[in-house]
């Protein structure tokens, strides 16, 4: 049994509480938030212990892992404080708002013999394991190219002011517009890309604020880029393009092209997303062939989009698990569980240390959009 503490009880904390039910080996010792009203509402809804202060939380000798769910600007301070208190840390993305601060967090943990893991946990999903197995078995030959999409749709045109979590937390839309969609969402694709293809050698990044008017609730805010595109050259030889945005129609897919075929993951936010496989030497599914013939005969494209290839069956039935409602069908607590198992075994979790630092550096570079970059981190 590993005891954990949550710091931060905002919108995302309810996702963690929902999925903690999947891991009885994790016990929540207590929670803390600097907002007493939010903390009280969260604790009453989930019937959990409340710490009287941050210091009381970090001083709890029963707690092994501190889960940092605070706003990104607070990640560095909370991470350092938890490490100084002798706690392992699982941190929402990014580890810090600058590379130097993120580097300091990882170095502090290394000196103390502690572990720092970074979210998101969707890189540990069943869908990722299935896609990795197809690539590892040579089903598409050697991977050459990947297209990752993290388009969230025109959120600022929606009724986001009314969105609430299970315990009543408001979705922090205005704050997310200030942080930017890249720091908030790029990690969901980067975790897959890095887990499949390794470290990035160099890249090109561009970002822009394309919709400066996001309504009265965002008036007067210093808005971050709401669009970014990065081209990443991996040391393994794979080239990838990652696009993040807050305006284009929702698309969270990943397409991987090898020299013998393709793998398409329909939704990186779905723990068991449909995964499609096609080979260049194989016949397309019947429906796709019929639609192609119809379009050619009529000279126009039909108003529908089919995922390329055939859906691949998962090797085992789905586990009985609790997941948040669509579109966030991610097992958020899986990262904490994997971390706890590794600590108990004396090993390093996959998304920890230098790899966690690398993911943060890549997201920061894409958000900045400063053109060519060469990561200072690696693994």
- Shared domain check, 133 and 117: no
Picking from 105, 121, 137, the residue at the C-terminal end of a domain is 121
Q: Is the peptide bond before 94 cis (omega within 30 degrees of 0)?
A: yes
Task: Give pLDDT, residue 287.
Answer: 78
Same domain, 38 and 159: no
3-state secondary structure of 263: strand
Cβ atoms of residues 226 and 246 within 8 Å: yes
For the entire predicted model, the pTM comes to 0.94
Burial pattern 321-348, b for ≥16 Cβ within 10 A else e, equals bebbeeeebbbbbbbbbbbbebbeeeee
116 and 134 belong to one structural domain: no
Residues 148, 89, single domain; the answer is no
- 55/106 same-domain check: yes
Q: How many domains does the chain have?
A: 2
Residue 336 placed within a domain: no
Asked if 99 and 151 sit in the same domain, the reply is: no
| Residue 164 counted as domain residue | yes
Alpha-carbon torsion (219, 164, 182, 231), positive or negative: negative
Last residue of one domain, picked from the residues 121, 144, 170: 121
H or E segment and range at residue 60: none
One domain, residues 105 and 239: no
CATH number at residue 37: 3.40.50.720
CA–CA dist 322, 329 (Å, integer): 9
Per-residue tens of pLDDT for the chain, all 379 residues: 999 999 999 999 999 999 999 999 999 999 999 999 999 999 999 999 999 999 999 999 999 999 999 999 999 999 999 999 999 999 999 999 999 999 999 999 999 999 999 999 999 999 999 999 999 999 999 999 999 999 999 999 999 999 999 999 999 999 999 999 999 999 999 999 999 999 999 999 999 999 999 988 788 889 999 999 999 999 999 999 999 999 999 999 999 999 999 999 999 999 999 999 999 998 888 778 877 887 788 888 878 777 889 999 999 998 878 998 889 999 999 999 999 999 999 999 999 999 999 999 999 999 999 999 999 998 8
Q: In this structure, is residue 176 part of a structural domain?
A: yes
- Position 90 in a domain: yes
What is the structure's pLDDT at 80? 98
At residue 211, the pLDDT reads: 95
Find out whether 165 and 203 touch, Cβ atoms under 8 Å.
Answer: no
Choose one of 121, 156, 180: the last residue of a domain: 121
Q: Which domain holds residue 161?
A: 126-329+353-373
- How far is the C-alpha of 266 from the C-alpha of 272, rounded, in Å? 10
Same domain, 206 and 309: yes
pLDDT at 308: 84
CA separation for the pair 272, 330 (Å, rounded): 9
**Which pLDDT value is given to residue 379?**
86
Same-domain pairing of 93 and 145:
no
pLDDT at 91: 98
Same domain, 152 and 295: yes
């Amino acid at each position: 049994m590993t005891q954990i503490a949550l710091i931060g009880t905002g919108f995302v904390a309810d996702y963690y509480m929902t999925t903690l039910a999947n891991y009885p080996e994790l016990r929540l010792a207590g929670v803390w938030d600097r907002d007493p009203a939010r903390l009280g509402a969260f604790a009453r809804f989930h019937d959990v212990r409340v710490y009287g202060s941050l210091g009381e939380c970090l001083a709890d000798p029963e707690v092994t892992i501190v889960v940092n769910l605070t706003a990104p600007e607070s990640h560095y301070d909370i991470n350092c404080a938890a490490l100084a208190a002798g706690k392992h840390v699982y941190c929402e993305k990014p580890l810090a708002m600058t590379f130097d601060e993120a580097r300091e967090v990882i170095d502090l943990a290394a000196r103390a013999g502690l572990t720092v893991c970074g979210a998101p946990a969707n890189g540990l999903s069943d869908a990722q394991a299935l896609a990795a197995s197809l690539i590892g078995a040579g089903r598409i030959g050697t991977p050459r190219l990947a297209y990752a999409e993290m388009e969230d749709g025109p959120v600022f045109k929606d009724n986001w002011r009314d969105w609430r979590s299970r315990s009543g937390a408001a979705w922090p839309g205005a704050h997310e517009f200030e942080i930017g969609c890249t720091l908030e969402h790029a990690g969901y694709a980067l975790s897959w890309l890095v887990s499949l293809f390794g470290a990035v050698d160099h890249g090109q990044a561009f970002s822009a604020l394309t919709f400066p008017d996001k309504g009265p609730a965002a008036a007067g805010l210093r808005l971050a880029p709401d669009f970014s595109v990065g081209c990443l050259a991996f040391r393994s030889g794979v080239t990838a393009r990652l696009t993040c945005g807050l305006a284009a129609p929702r698309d969270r897919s990943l397409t991987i092209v090898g020299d013998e075929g393709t793998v398409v993951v329909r939704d990186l936010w779905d723990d068991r997303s449909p995964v499609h496989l096609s080979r260049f030497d194989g016949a397309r599914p019947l429906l796709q062939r019929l639609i192609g013939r119809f379009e050619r005969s009529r000279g126009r494209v039909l108003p529908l989009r089919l995922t390329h290839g055939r859906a691949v069956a998962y090797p085992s039935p789905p586990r009985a698990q609790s997941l948040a409602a669509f579109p966030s069908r991610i097992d958020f607590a899986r990262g904490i569980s994997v971390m706890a198992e590794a600590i108990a075994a004396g090993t390093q979790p996959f998304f920890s240390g230098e790899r966690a630092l690398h993911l943060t550096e890549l997201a920061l570079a894409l958000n900045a959009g400063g053109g060519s970059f060469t990561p200072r981190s690696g693994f």
